[in-house]
């Protein structure tokens, strides 16, 4: 109990697995915030229940995780965001969903609640209403400044989100995001759902990360029930996770170049991405591999011709991809766009605990597959690329290196996989238990926390996408850049709207 | 009889450019698509788009002024007249004697001025961004264009395109460094003027990166059709201009017979196809520039044109 040793707490909760959770007093809560502020711990998640708030933290050095809980007896809790900005959007979300009030909050504007819900504070379990007030964007003052409002409906086929730029000519002075347009109420649908229904919901939180979410959800359930998936199932899960990463990274590399109007790369990587999806379809019966991973293991084994399809895929990527890297590296006009554009400072990446390529391109050496070494990654060998530059170019290169790693990982898994069971039996019933799991999606770490009640029903489930800690960095990265470079920066982040809007 | 012949020839060239402009755009799109291993839209798609837009109702913003409604016609008229001043398959155009290269630049400049006004008329942020970028580009592209015109005119001894084309086609021209420089300068100007990569991307959906498209975002229906057709005419104009000044071979002279005219026309189609193909290849192999790189790019055109003029001053044979 390393982390909790230094945080005064009332008692630890025994049914929380695999990492400890402890109920703390105001002093303990404050001590946890202090540790986050000084940088010893990184905020991993922050979520609510009708009468409590939870905060998950990770020790960057030892990879230890702990959850602290503050009981909101008076419907309030000491604000975290007031001291530690990365918690801001999560704190506003807690207020929107549960009506719990952070005390001495600088910013209590709604986040997910756009005043169109049929009731306020939908998860609080009580009837209450909030005042409808027009949303105030943060002010920027100056004579030559003008505002450019983009979205929520965009010209391309992308998700909705509103971006409010304040610019001085072409130079961006401030960008403020307004998200929440794809809010689907996943956390309220989760309440009382059976495991099968909940797994389906988790799968669909963010379509491009279907496998990562299903993986995290299954692991959270397995942690709560204290069971383990069979060895073959973990290999299949790893196989699908890497296939998903491969498809998304390939798509992203091309899409970033396309936003610099270099359509050639987009066309080429588009072909490779399509091959990945088709191979996934052959091997697992679904292009995005939805609903294959389930609590306890996987629902279906790889198809008989799946291994051959994957081998063909790997051979093609091995053949074509090096040429595409060369094309990227040798096109000076493209490099001119990506190098030094949209720099994320190393200290921001660390403070926000930015996962995935956003963090790793800015020197934050964190990959849940390596740091938390969950199955099957504890048995596989791979490298985690890290760069310091923090610009669009670095984020492209992290993706390129990760594509190479994923190809190697798929080959390893195909090699190591042995026949066997693919599903462990779940207990028919359980007492109240809680599980926490973190998996590495292509854009960063996904955290799922859940509480199971009688008859294996989900009492409360929180899903935290990597984008929660990446979106705010995009606001910082674009400052001082020109408006015309925003699409390029945005694509190099490729944050999830759906995953963060829940 | 001669007057009738001139009118017919001019009329034929005017309808030819109007009819051919969408085809050239369609051709460039098709080649680009093939280079990206896509099938691409049919060659005739731009015509279908124009017909579709013509049939559609116009949606106007509440605060659009009369200027906003008039401008598409002005742009179209200016561009069409400019395009009909460039000899395509035959020299000795009737209009050549009333309007020269400087007039073409001025016509296109006015069309652009109206376009920039229209971009700002409705008051959307994107229109304003587009107009300000367009004017920044114009402030460098137009001087570069004019100085290129001067260097060509000094070599040919005239600013009238028919005379220029005739001179370029004759043996008197020889191999000149200044012409090479003028050619590069004109190509750069043509890329910028036609909103092609690397200055602008005609195929993008990203409002924040647009220049030309941002100014016309608020247009719809027949207004949009006219503006689209004007852009297509402008592309054809520049390609014809480059062909007429720098690839003048085979252009029919003023007194040529029907066979020569047909031969000139066939050769002209060939030139369009070659230049269109080169444009597609160039656009595929390069990324778009940062907005603040464009002045450097156009500055290069300006300097090259200036150098070409200077060289011509220093030595009559360069």
- As a whole number of angstroms, the distance between CA A326 and CA A226 comes to 48
Cβ–Cβ gap A170/B36 under 8 Å: no
Tokens representing residue A333 in the block: 């006009």
Tokens representing residue A192 in the block: 């009382």
Residue B167 touches chain A, beta carbons under 8 Å: no
A193: Cβ–Cβ under 8 A, 6 or more apart, which residues?
A201, A457, A458
Q: What is the mean pLDDT of residues B154-161?
A: 88
Residue A323 to chain B, least CA–CA distance (Å): 15
- As a whole number of angstroms, the distance between CA A341 and CA A396 comes to 12
- Specify the 3-state DSSP secondary structure of A46: strand
Checking DSSP bridges between strand A146-150 and strand A101-103, what pairing results, if any?
Answer: unpaired
- Percent of the residues in chain A that have a pLDDT greater than 90, as a whole number: 79
List pLDDT tens digits, range A471-494: 999 999 998 899 999 999 999 999
- Of B140, B179, B184, give the one whose Cα is nearest residue B309: B179
Tokens representing residue A423 in the block: 């599903």
Cβ–Cβ gap B204/A261 under 8 Å: yes
List pLDDT tens digits, range A276-290: 999 999 999 999 999
Cβ–Cβ gap B37/A271 under 8 Å: yes
Torsion-angle region of A367 (φ positive above 0: left; ψ -120 to 50: alpha; else: beta) = beta
- Which of A154, A261, A334 is facing B201, going by the closest CB pair? A261
- Percent of the residues in chain A that have a pLDDT greater than 70, as a whole number: 100
**In chain A, which residue's Cα lies nearest the Cα of B293?**
A336
- Of A180, A189, A161, give the one whose Cα is nearest residue A112: A180
Rounded to the nearest 10°, the torsion over CA A177, A181, A186, A187 is: 50
- As a whole number of angstroms, the distance between CA A42 and CA A36 comes to 6
- Of B160, B213, B212, B151, give the one whose Cα is nearest residue B186: B151
Cβ–Cβ gap A148/B129 under 8 Å: yes
- Of B103, B106, B100, B118, give the one whose Cα is nearest residue B142: B106
Confidence at residue B5, expressed as pLDDT on a 0 to 100 scale: 78
- As a whole number of angstroms, the distance between CA B260 and CA B23 comes to 24
Q: What is the mean pLDDT of residues A29-41?
A: 92
DSSP string, A312-332: HHHHHHHHHHHHHHHHHHH-H
- Which of A156, A271, A333 is facing B287, going by the closest CB pair? A333
Cβ–Cβ gap B206/A259 under 8 Å: yes
DSSP string, A409-421: HHHHHHHH-----
- Percent of the residues in chain B that have a pLDDT greater than 90, as a whole number: 63
Residue B173 touches chain A, beta carbons under 8 Å: no
Averaged pLDDT of chain A: 92
Q: Give the helix/strand (H/E) hosting A171.
A: strand A171-178
Cβ–Cβ gap A334/B287 under 8 Å: yes
- Which of A148, A149, A337 is facing B287, going by the closest CB pair? A337
* Residue scoring higher pLDDT (A132 or B48): B48
* Contact status, residue A27 vs residue A83, Cβ threshold 8 Å: no
Cis ω before A376 (30° cut-off from 0)? yes
List pLDDT tens digits, range A159-198: 999 999 999 888 999 999 999 999 999 999 999 999 999 9
CB atoms within 10 A of CB A109: 15
Cβ–Cβ gap A263/B125 under 8 Å: no
Q: What is the mean pLDDT of residues A203-207?
A: 92
Which of A153, A260, A490 has the highest number of chain B CBs within 10 A, making it the mutation to test binding with B? A260
Confidence at residue A365, expressed as pLDDT on a 0 to 100 scale: 92
- As a whole number of angstroms, the distance between CA A37 and CA A194 comes to 39
- Of A369, A356, A242, A376, give the one whose Cα is nearest residue A297: A376
Contacts across the A-B interface (CB distance below 8 Å): 79
Interface of B with A in 280-309 (CB under 8 A): 284-293
Confidence at residue B1, expressed as pLDDT on a 0 to 100 scale: 60
**Alpha-carbon distances, residue A95 vs A29, A424, B27 (angstroms):** 18, 39, 57
- As a whole number of angstroms, the distance between CA B86 and CA B14 comes to 10
Cβ–Cβ gap B129/A483 under 8 Å: yes
Interface of B with A in 120-139 (CB under 8 A): 125-126, 128-129, 132
Length of chain B: 318
Q: What is the mean pLDDT of residues A202-212?
A: 93
- As a whole number of angstroms, the distance between CA A119 and CA B213 comes to 42
Confidence at residue B255, expressed as pLDDT on a 0 to 100 scale: 72
- Specify the 3-state DSSP secondary structure of A53: strand
- Percent of the residues in chain B that have a pLDDT greater than 70, as a whole number: 98
A502: Cβ–Cβ under 8 A, 6 or more apart, which residues?
A93, A112, A183, A184, A185, A186, A187, A205, A463
* Contact status, residue B68 vs residue B118, Cβ threshold 8 Å: yes
pLDDT above 80: residue B316: no
A404-427 burial by CB neighbour count: b if 16+ within 10 A, else e?
Answer: bbbbbbbebbbeebeeeebbeebe
Residue A313 to chain B, least CA–CA distance (Å): 19
- As a whole number of angstroms, the distance between CA B142 and CA B193 comes to 9
- As a whole number of angstroms, the distance between CA B211 and CA A102 comes to 45
List pLDDT tens digits, range A117-134: 888 899 988 887 788 888
Question: A396: pLDDT confidence band, cut at 50, 70 and 90?
Answer: very high
Q: Give the helix/strand (H/E) hosting A242.
A: helix A231-259
A3: Cβ–Cβ under 8 A, 6 or more apart, which residues?
A35, A41, A57, A59, A64, A65, A66
Q: CA A489, A493, A498 angle in degrees (round to 5)?
A: 125
Residue B233 to chain A, least CA–CA distance (Å): 23
Residue B195 touches chain A, beta carbons under 8 Å: no
Checking DSSP bridges between strand A171-178 and strand A162-168, what pairing results, if any?
Answer: antiparallel
Cβ–Cβ gap B287/A150 under 8 Å: no
List pLDDT tens digits, range A435-477: 999 999 999 999 999 999 888 899 999 999 999 999 999 999 9
Write the DSSP symbol of residue A425.
P
**Chain A residues with CB-CB distance to B125 below 8 A:** 146-149
Least confident of A278-282, A453-457, B88-92, B177-181: B88-92
CB atoms within 10 A of CB B263: 16
- Of A121, A141, A107, give the one whose Cα is nearest residue A49: A121
List pLDDT tens digits, range B197-239: 899 988 888 888 889 999 999 999 999 999 999 999 999 999 9
- As a whole number of angstroms, the distance between CA A396 and CA A407 comes to 17
Write the DSSP symbol of residue B60.
-
Residue B206 touches chain A, beta carbons under 8 Å: yes
- As a whole number of angstroms, the distance between CA A377 and CA A440 comes to 11
Confidence at residue A406, expressed as pLDDT on a 0 to 100 scale: 96
Least confident of A281-290, A325-334, B94-103, B250-259: B250-259
Residue A337 to chain B, least CA–CA distance (Å): 6
Kindly tell me the sign of the dihedral angle through the C-alpha atoms of B160, B165, B171, B175.
positive
Which of B31, B290, B291 has the highest number of chain A CBs within 10 A, making it the mutation to test binding with A? B290
Cβ–Cβ gap B125/A148 under 8 Å: yes
Confidence at residue B90, expressed as pLDDT on a 0 to 100 scale: 77
- Of A362, A348, A392, A406, give the one whose Cα is nearest residue A481: A392
- As a whole number of angstroms, the distance between CA A4 and CA A9 comes to 8
Residue A378: is it exposed, middle or buried by C-beta count within 10 angstroms (0-12/13-18/19+)?
exposed
Cβ–Cβ gap B208/A483 under 8 Å: yes
- As a whole number of angstroms, the distance between CA A203 and CA A214 comes to 5
List pLDDT tens digits, range A224-263: 999 999 999 999 999 999 999 999 999 999 999 999 999 9
Length of chain A: 502
pLDDT above 60: residue A421: yes
Cβ–Cβ gap A331/B129 under 8 Å: no
Q: For chain A, state the CA radius of gyration.
A: 22
Kindly tell me the sign of the dihedral angle through the C-alpha atoms of A387, A342, A327, A287.
positive
Cβ–Cβ gap B209/A484 under 8 Å: yes
- Specify the 3-state DSSP secondary structure of A10: strand
Checking DSSP bridges between strand A65-71 and strand A52-59, what pairing results, if any?
Answer: antiparallel
pLDDT above 70: residue A1: no
**Alpha-carbon distances, residue B244 vs B78, B84, B241 (angstroms):** 20, 13, 5
Interface of B with A in 44-73 (CB under 8 A): none
ipTM: 0.89
- As a whole number of angstroms, the distance between CA A74 and CA B57 comes to 60
SS3 track for B148-187:
HHHHHHHHHCCCCHHHHHHHHHCCCCCCCHHHHHHHHHHH
Helices within A294-434 (DSSP H only)? 306-330, 332-338, 346-352, 356-360, 368-371, 392-416
Write the DSSP symbol of residue A111.
S
Which of B206, B280, B294 has the highest number of chain A CBs within 10 A, making it the mutation to test binding with A? B206
Checking DSSP bridges between strand A162-168 and strand A146-150, what pairing results, if any?
Answer: antiparallel
CA B266 centroid distance within chain: 20
Write the DSSP symbol of residue B90.
B
- Specify the 3-state DSSP secondary structure of B232: helix
* Contact status, residue B276 vs residue B29, Cβ threshold 8 Å: no
């Amino acid at each position: 109990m390393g982390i909790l040793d230094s945080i005064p707490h009332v008692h630890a909760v025994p049914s929380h697995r695999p990492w400890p959770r402890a109920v703390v007093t105001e002093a303990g809560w404050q001590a946890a915030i202090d540790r986050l502020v000084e940088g010893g711990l990184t905020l991993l998640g922050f979520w609510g229940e009708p009468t409590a708030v939870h905060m998950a933290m990770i020790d960057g050095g030892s990879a230890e995780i702990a959850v602290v809980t503050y009981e909101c007896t008076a419907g309030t809790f000491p604000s975290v965001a007031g001291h530690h900005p990365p918690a801001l959007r999560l704190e506003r979300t807690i207020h929107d969903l549960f009506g719990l009030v952070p005390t001495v909050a600088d910013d209590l504007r709604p986040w997910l609640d756009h005043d169109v819900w049929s009731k306020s504070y939908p998860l609080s379990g009580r009837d209450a209403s909030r005042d409808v007030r027009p949303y105030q964007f943060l002010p920027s003052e100056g004579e030559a400044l003008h505002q450019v409002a983009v979205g929520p409906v965009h010209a391309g086929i992308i998700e909705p989100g509103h971006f409010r730029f304040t610019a001085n000519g072409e130079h961006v002075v401030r960008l403020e995001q307004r998200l929440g347009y794809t809010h689907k109420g996943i956390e309220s649908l989760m309440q009382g759902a059976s495991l099968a229904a909940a797994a389906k919901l988790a799968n669909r939180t963010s379509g491009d990360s279907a496998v990562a979410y299903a993986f995290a959800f299954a692991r959270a359930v397995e942690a709560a029930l204290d069971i383990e998936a069979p060895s073959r199932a973990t290999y299949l899960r790893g196989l699908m996770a890497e296939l998903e990463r491969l498809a998304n990274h390939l798509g992203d590399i091309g899409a970033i170049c396309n936003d610099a109007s270099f359509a050639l790369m987009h066309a080429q990587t588009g072909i490779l991405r399509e091959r990945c999806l088709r191979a996934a379809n052959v091997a697992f019966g679904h292009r995005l591999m939805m609903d294959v991973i389930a609590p306890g293991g996987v629902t279906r084994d790889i198809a008989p011709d799946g291994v051959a399809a994957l081998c063909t895929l790997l051979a093609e990527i091995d053949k074509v991809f090096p040429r595409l890297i060369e094309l990227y590296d040798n096109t000076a006009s493209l490099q001119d766009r990506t190098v030094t554009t949209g720099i994320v400072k190393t200290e921001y990446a660390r403070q926000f605990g930015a996962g995935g390529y956003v963090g790793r391109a800015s020197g934050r050496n964190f990959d849940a597959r390596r740091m938390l070494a969950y199955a099957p990654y504890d048995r596989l060998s791979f490298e985690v690329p890290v760069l310091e530059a923090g610009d669009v170019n670095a984020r492209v290169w992290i993706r390129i290196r990760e594509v190479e790693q994923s190809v190697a990982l798929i080959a390893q898994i195909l090699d190591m996989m042995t026949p066997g069971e693919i599903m462990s039996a779940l207990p028919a019933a359980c007492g109240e238990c809680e599980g926490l799991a973190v998996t590495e999606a292509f854009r960063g770490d996904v955290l799922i926390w859940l509480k199971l009640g009688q008859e294996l029903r989900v009492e409360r489930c929180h899903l935290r996408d990597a984008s929660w800690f990446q979106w705010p960095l995009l606001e910082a990265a674009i400052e001082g850049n020109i408006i015309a470079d925003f699409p390029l920066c945005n694509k190099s982040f490729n944050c999830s709207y759906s995953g963060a809007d829940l | 009889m001669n007057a009738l012949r001139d009118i017919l020839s001019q009329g034929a060239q005017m309808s030819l450019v109007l009819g051919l402009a969408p085809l050239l755009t369609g051709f460039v799109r098709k080649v680009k698509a093939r280079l990206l291993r896509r099938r691409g839209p049919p060659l005739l798609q731009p015509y279908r788009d124009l017909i579709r837009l013509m049939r559609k109702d116009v949606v106007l913003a509440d605060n659009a002024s009369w200027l906003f409604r008039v401008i598409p016609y002005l742009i179209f008229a200016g561009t069409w007249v400019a395009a009909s001043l460039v000899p395509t398959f035959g020299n000795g155009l009737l209009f050549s004697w009333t309007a020269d290269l400087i007039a073409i630049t001025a016509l296109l400049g006015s069309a652009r001025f109206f376009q920039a006004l229209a971009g700002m008329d409705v008051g959307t942020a994107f229109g304003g961004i587009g107009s300000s970028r367009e004017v920044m580009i114009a402030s460098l592209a137009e001087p570069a264009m004019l100085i290129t015109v001067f260097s060509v005119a000094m070599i040919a001894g005239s600013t009238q395109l028919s005379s220029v084309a005739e001179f370029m086609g004759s043996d008197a021209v020889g191999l000149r460094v200044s012409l090479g420089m003028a050619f590069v300068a004109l190509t750069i100007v043509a890329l910028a003027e036609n909103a092609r990569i690397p200055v602008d991307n005609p195929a993008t959906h990203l409002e924040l990166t647009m220049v030309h498209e941002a100014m016309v975002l608020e247009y719809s229906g027949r207004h949009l059709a006219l503006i689209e057709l004007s852009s297509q005419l402008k592309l054809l104009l520049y390609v014809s201009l480059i062909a007429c000044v720098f690839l003048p071979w085979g252009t029919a002279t003023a007194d040529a017979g029907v066979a020569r005219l047909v031969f000139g026309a066939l050769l002209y189609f060939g030139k369009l196809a070659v230049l269109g193909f080169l444009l597609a290849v160039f656009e595929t192999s390069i990324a778009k520039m940062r907005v603040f790189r464009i002045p450097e790019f156009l500055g290069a055109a300006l300097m090259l044109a200036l150098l070409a003029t200077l060289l011509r001053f220093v030595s009559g044979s360069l």
